[in-house]
Amino acid sequence: MKQAVETELYASKAPLEWAVIANGQLSTAQIPIDQDGKVVGGGIEAQARQTMDNLQHTIEAANLTMDHVTQVLIYVTDRDQLPVFNKVYAEYFQAPYPNRAAMIVAGLAREEMLCEVVAYAAVTQ
């Protein structure tokens, strides 16, 4: 059985939850949107920060910390964006870091999005 995590993130009109917990694991996908559901401007650094802020908010809404995150999948739309994303990403985690992968993709759900993150976290009972 899965349980939705209540967050204060923008309530999407799409059929999705920002995070669910099932079988001792939190699953979430985060994008660079603000409280109004708009993709933030300012390039990859601003979008990476908003995405990571949304991730941290979601993790904390589940009564977890970033130390509970076990895996992160990063999607960016250009290889040159990855070093900038890495710089921002490093501000949110400390060793031991989550396992992670990074993918360069042709595009994301919203044309103006430059990044997206999928993350998994261990839920302690």
2 in a domain, yes or no?
A: no
Handedness of CA 81, 86, 55, 91 (dihedral sign): negative
Phi, psi (deg, nearest 5) at residue 42: 100, 5
11 belongs to a structural domain: no
- Residue 124 binned pLDDT confidence (cut-offs 50, 70, 90): confident
122/93 Cα distance (integer angstroms): 15
Measured distance CA(90)–CA(24) in Å, rounded: 26
Do the Cβ atoms of 10 and 50 come closer than 8 Å?
no
The answer on pLDDT for 67 being more than 70 is: yes
Domain assignment present for residue 23? The answer is yes
Q: How far is CA 16 from the centre of its chain?
A: 14
Mean pLDDT value across residues 114-119: 98
pLDDT digits over 19-61, tens only? 999 999 999 999 999 999 999 999 999 999 999 999 999 999 9
Identify whether the C-beta of residue 50 lies closer than 8 Å to the C-beta of residue 115.
no
Could you tell me the pLDDT band of residue 122, with boundaries at 50, 70 and 90? very high
12 occurs within a structural domain: no
Domain count, the chain: 1
Residue 71 sits in a domain whose CATH number is: 3.30.1330.40
User: Does the residue 113 lie in any domain?
Assistant: yes
Is residue 43 one of the residues assigned to a domain?
yes
Q: Is 34 exposed, middle or buried (0-12, 13-18, 19+ CB in 10 A)?
A: middle
The whole model's pTM is what?
Answer: 0.96
Average pLDDT over residues 73-97: 98
Between CA 105 and CA 93 the distance in angstroms is: 24
pLDDT at 125: 55
Judge whether 7 lies within some domain.
no
Domain-embedded: residue 1: no
Q: Which domain holds residue 113?
A: 18-122
